[in-house]
Structure 1
Amino acid sequence: TKEETMSPGELAGLEKLQAYVNSFVPARCVNRAGNSVLDAKGSERLEKRLINTKELLGCKSIVEVKICLGTVRD
């Protein structure tokens, strides 16, 4: 695998990235009005959140990164 060819520093970085990604919580699905979308059982629908890595890599400031990741708090 690719991990076998990684240096110790690269492996540490990969593990840190994997831990960060695994910490993501599922996103609530909402309609255009902002109301929760329900599944067939009437439970709130949750999905994995996708990150636009091209947009993220183009961020020029921490504020832009937070906006891209949806971590800006009102």
Structure 2
Amino acid sequence: MFTIEHEFDATVITLIDEGHEGLQEDITINAFEDCVTLEQLHPVTEEPMIITLSITQLHDLAAALDLPEGSYRLERKRD
């Protein structure tokens, strides 16, 4: 299950783990103009863990999901 909310400066997506044993904490994804953050509470300390991806890293991640094992460099289109 997931939710999507559009706020003033970001789109916020929350991924909710459900329906099986060993459920993970919710993940909140904040999509800003220049970066994307992923936030999840640590299950023991309950402190938020935050990862920040640049837009380039986000594009690389999206491409990597559909590629076989290996090392890649994506060519960027120049405007």
Q: TM range, normalised to the smaller chain?
A: under 0.3
Bigger Rg, structure 1 or 2: 1
| TM-score normalised by L of structure 2 | 0.26
Q: Which has the higher strand share?
A: 2
Between structures 1 and 2, the one with greater helix share: 1
Q: If the length of structure 1 is used for normalisation, what is the TM-score?
A: 0.27
